[in-house]
Protein backbone atom coordinates (compact mmCIF):
# COMPACT_ATOMS: atom_id res chain seq x y z
CA UNK A 1 0.00 0.00 0.00
CA UNK A 2 2.78 2.46 0.89
CA UNK A 3 4.80 1.60 -2.21
CA UNK A 4 1.82 2.41 -4.42
CA UNK A 5 1.31 5.72 -2.62
CA UNK A 6 4.98 6.71 -2.91
CA UNK A 7 5.02 5.77 -6.60
CA UNK A 8 2.02 8.03 -7.15
CA UNK A 9 3.42 10.88 -5.06
CA UNK A 10 6.73 10.86 -6.94
CA UNK A 11 5.01 10.36 -10.31
CA UNK A 12 6.75 7.02 -10.76
CA UNK A 13 10.27 8.26 -10.01
CA UNK A 14 10.56 6.29 -6.77
CA UNK A 15 8.85 2.94 -6.46
CA UNK A 16 9.42 1.98 -2.85
CA UNK A 17 9.29 3.64 0.53
CA UNK A 18 12.63 4.51 2.18
CA UNK A 19 11.90 4.13 5.89
CA UNK A 20 15.34 4.45 7.45
CA UNK A 21 16.44 7.25 5.13
CA UNK A 22 13.06 8.96 4.75
CA UNK A 23 14.48 12.42 5.44
CA UNK A 24 17.19 12.13 2.79
CA UNK A 25 15.36 10.14 0.15
CA UNK A 26 11.84 11.49 0.36
CA UNK A 27 12.15 14.95 1.90
CA UNK A 28 15.44 16.11 0.38
CA UNK A 29 15.22 14.42 -3.01
CA UNK A 30 11.49 14.51 -3.77
CA UNK A 31 10.38 17.27 -1.35
CA UNK A 32 7.72 14.98 0.10
CA UNK A 33 6.77 14.58 3.71
CA UNK A 34 4.26 12.29 5.35
CA UNK A 35 1.35 13.53 7.45
CA UNK A 36 -0.72 11.51 9.85
CA UNK A 37 1.71 8.67 10.53
CA UNK A 38 0.09 7.16 13.63
CA UNK A 39 3.27 5.95 15.36
CA UNK A 40 6.12 7.90 16.94
CA UNK A 41 8.58 7.01 14.17
CA UNK A 42 8.26 6.11 10.49
CA UNK A 43 8.78 2.37 10.51
CA UNK A 44 8.54 -0.33 7.88
CA UNK A 45 5.22 -2.06 8.59
CA UNK A 46 6.92 -5.45 8.26
CA UNK A 47 9.04 -4.50 11.30
CA UNK A 48 5.98 -3.73 13.45
CA UNK A 49 5.36 -6.75 15.65
CA UNK A 50 2.51 -5.22 17.65
CA UNK A 51 -0.73 -6.07 15.83
CA UNK A 52 -2.75 -3.09 17.15
CA UNK A 53 0.01 -0.69 16.02
CA UNK A 54 0.12 -2.32 12.59
CA UNK A 55 -3.66 -2.01 12.37
CA UNK A 56 -3.37 1.72 13.18
CA UNK A 57 -0.93 2.22 10.31
CA UNK A 58 -3.11 0.24 7.92
CA UNK A 59 -6.28 2.11 8.86
CA UNK A 60 -4.59 5.53 8.63
CA UNK A 61 -3.35 4.74 5.13
CA UNK A 62 -6.62 3.18 4.01
CA UNK A 63 -8.76 6.04 5.36
CA UNK A 64 -6.49 8.74 3.93
CA UNK A 65 -5.54 10.10 7.37
CA UNK A 66 -1.91 9.28 6.57
CA UNK A 67 -0.71 10.70 3.27
CA UNK A 68 2.24 12.16 1.39
CA UNK A 69 2.41 15.91 0.97
CA UNK A 70 4.56 18.02 -1.35
CA UNK A 71 6.58 20.30 0.92
CA UNK A 72 6.17 24.06 0.64
CA UNK A 73 9.09 26.46 0.28
CA UNK A 74 8.76 27.33 3.99
CA UNK A 75 8.88 23.66 4.98
CA UNK A 76 11.99 23.14 2.86
CA UNK A 77 13.75 25.97 4.72
CA UNK A 78 13.45 24.17 8.08
48-76 core/surface letters (b: 16 or more CB in 10 A; e: else): beeeeebebbeebbeeeebebeebeeeee
Distance CA 26, CA 30 (A): 5
One pLDDT digit (tens) per residue for the chain, 78 residues: 777 887 888 888 777 777 888 888 788 888 888 999 999 999 999 999 999 999 999 999 999 999 998 898 888 887
Distance CA 37, CA 45 (A): 11
Query: What's the whole-model pTM score?
Result: 0.76
What is residue 10's predicted lDDT score, i.e. its pLDDT? Answer: 81
What is residue 1's predicted lDDT score, i.e. its pLDDT? Answer: 76
Residue 20 structural domain: 2-77
Phi, psi dihedral angles at 35 (to 5 degrees): -115, 145
The total number of structural domains that make up the chain: 1
Q: Which residues pair with 34 in a beta bridge?
A: 68
Distance CA 23, CA 60 (A): 21
Amino acid sequence: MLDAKITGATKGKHKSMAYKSFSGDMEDKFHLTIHGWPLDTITNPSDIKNVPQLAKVHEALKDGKCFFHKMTAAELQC
